[in-house]
A and B are shown apart, each in its own frame.
Chain A
């Protein structure tokens, strides 16, 4: 590894042969260990160790949890379980808000897309409907009488009502 860096001008390193020996030994050791951990014996031994440590710690943990719960109850403080339940409810709320946010996004997108769709394809009834709606403010801005806008708006009612049927 280090031999690669120095190039030709690297000074004599008396430890280099030892490094070679070390690496060879570690290579052999690594292969042996990979085989060792891949045996049923290793799985059994680690499983037994884990199992016994969990068994030993379980009564202590349970007693600790019980006493902690009692203390918290006496002090009128919420327990970890209470916080977990709250967190669950918060997540559910977040999901609902997220769904509402998505719905709003969709509605906003549809309302923004509506005028441009109408301009692009004025032939289909829904587009006419949107176009009529889009034209309304222009007439109002021109300070003309409100009558034409009502007239223009009337086909919208017809198309949407009858078209739906």
Chain B
């Protein structure tokens, strides 16, 4: 006669699990909680300053500006309390700023790397300097943000950039065999003009599909099974929820920038060859003289390590370092091990060069 209560318990448990699944799949997690203030805006771009928690006299003198990719929301850098790179850096005494590119609308379809690096970034940096009262600053670029920061650092080397940190930076496109994206966007198969004529901007859903299709089983099956298997573990559920909130929050990539990414970089590898023109000026990487730290994720399938290694041989920086971290494209900064490995290394490297 014990069968009925046991069955009832099982059903109650199942119901609870289904409720949890429904909640994490249909709601947004509380993300980007570190207190910040908006200090500058231009078109869709916004510059935030995180409220310092360390007294001014104990803070690092050189402020840090974070620049994330154009096709994802930047709050992956400030995912959730206790698991936030921004929170960590603010607690370590950095004056942290974040440049949020915003969501491009149809009217922004002509925005190019030229605009982002020569109009938006210099103005945001000018504001940062005015606020902090320092002429020097550090830049951290992640993914496409690393392309932008590299271009900026090479084109405007005398603008006060002291330290440049590149995370999973797709800069070298010479090894086409290792680049699945390069194969998919080869001109034989992919008509970039046709796509942009149809959509104006590259739709966020298509970018998301492209990123997920690189590892379809992991992204479309294993990811959800991982949640199902860990539904009784609130910590895993919370982490999964916040990451899912970020992953599903896709934004389009401005048409002009997408064209440059595919044609000038993926197909022609112009940045490494020294042929990339920004506002008519050749991007000469040897002019990049800032202290350089390149962080590579050894298991990165979006930006394979081969894309971030050659930069060290091209730049004119005297102080440069390559740091390899086991993990994936996002995991090295937002994964459970990031606070033990990647963040302390970045802090250690940057701290010595920020006073």
* Interface set of A (CB-CB < 8 Å, partner B): 1-2, 5, 19, 22, 26, 29-30, 33-34, 37-40, 42-44, 46-48, 50-51, 54, 57-58, 61, 80, 83-84, 87-88, 90-91, 94-95, 98-99, 102, 105, 109
Contacts of B213 in A (CB 8 A): 37
Q: B2 at interface (Cβ–Cβ under 8 A)?
A: no
Q: A2 to B226: give the CA distance in the assembly, Å.
A: 9
Q: Whose C-beta in chain B lies nearest to the C-beta of A53?
A: B198
The number of chain B residues with a CB under 8 A from chain A is: 40
Are A102 and B126 within 8 A (Cβ)?
yes
A50 to B198, CA, bound (A): 11
- Smallest beta-carbon distance A38→chain B, Å: 5
Residues of B within 8 Å of A98, CB to CB, are 40, 42, 123
Q: What are the residues of chain B within 8 A of A48 when measuring CB–CB?
A: 189
B198 touches A30 (CB 8 A): no
A-side contacts of B43, CB under 8 Å: 87, 90-91, 94
Given the interface pairs A37-B216, A83-B107, A87-B107, the reply to whether A43 lies near B184 with Cβ below 8 Å is yes
Contacts A40-B183, A84-B106, A91-B42; is A1 near B226 (CB within 8 Å)? yes
Question: Is the beta-carbon distance between B198 and A61 smaller than 8 angstroms?
Answer: yes
Closest to A5 in B: B233
Q: Could you give 7 example pairs across A and B, Cβ below 8 Å?
A: A50-B190, A54-B198, A57-B198, A84-B109, A95-B123, A98-B40, A99-B123
Distance between Cα atoms of A87 and B222 in the complex (Å): 43
**Cβ B195 vs Cβ A54 within 8 A:** yes
Let me know if B186 is at the binding interface, CB within 8 A: yes
Instruction: Beyond the given A2-B232, A50-B190, A94-B42, please list 15 additional residue pairs across the A-B interface where CB-CB is below 8 A.
Output: A1-B230, A30-B217, A30-B222, A43-B190, A46-B184, A47-B188, A51-B191, A51-B194, A54-B195, A83-B107, A84-B107, A90-B43, A91-B42, A102-B123, A102-B126
User: Which residue from chain B places its CB closest to the CB of A94 in the assembled complex?
Assistant: B42
Q: Please pick, from A22, A37, A95, the residue contacting B42 in the complex, using a CB distance under 8 A.
A: A95
Kindly supply a per-residue 1/0 record for chain B positions 273-310, scoring 1 wherever the CB is within 8 Å of any chain A CB and 0 otherwise.
00000000000000000000000000001000000000
B198 pairs with A37, CB closer than 8 A: no
The tally of CB-CB contacts under 8 A between chains A and B is 89
User: Please, how many angstroms separate the alpha-carbon atoms of A83 and B105 in the complex?
Assistant: 11
* Chain B 195-248 interface residues, beta-carbon cutoff 8 Å to A: 195, 197-198, 213-218, 221-222, 225-226, 229-230, 232-233
**CB < 8 Å: which of B194, B197, B221 contacts A26?**
B221
The interface bits of chain B over 30-72 (1 if a CB of A lies within 8 angstroms of the residue's CB, else 0) are: 0000000000101100000000000000000000000000000
Contact residues in A for B109 (Cβ distance below 8 Å): 84
Q: Roughly how many angstroms separate A94 CA and B45 CA in the complex, as a whole number?
A: 12
B260 / chain A contacts, CB cutoff of 8 Å = none
CB distance from A2 to the nearest CB of B (A): 4
**Cα-based distance from A20 to B226 in the complex (angstroms):** 13
Chain A to chain B: the 5 pairs with minimum beta-carbon distance, closest first: A47-B189, A87-B107, A30-B217, A84-B107, A2-B229
Report chain B residues within 8 Å CB of A38: 180, 183
Given known A-B contacts A98-B42, A102-B130, A5 and B107 have beta carbons under 8 A apart: no
Q: Are B191 and A5 in contact (CB under 8 A)?
A: no
Q: In the bound complex, how far is the Cα of B123 from the Cα of A105, in angstroms?
A: 13
- When distances are taken between beta carbons in the complex, the residues of chain B under 8 Å from A87 are 43, 105, 107-108
Q: CA of A6 to CA of B225 in the docked complex: distance in angstroms? A: 18
- Quote the shortest CB–CB distance from B9 to chain A (angstroms): 12
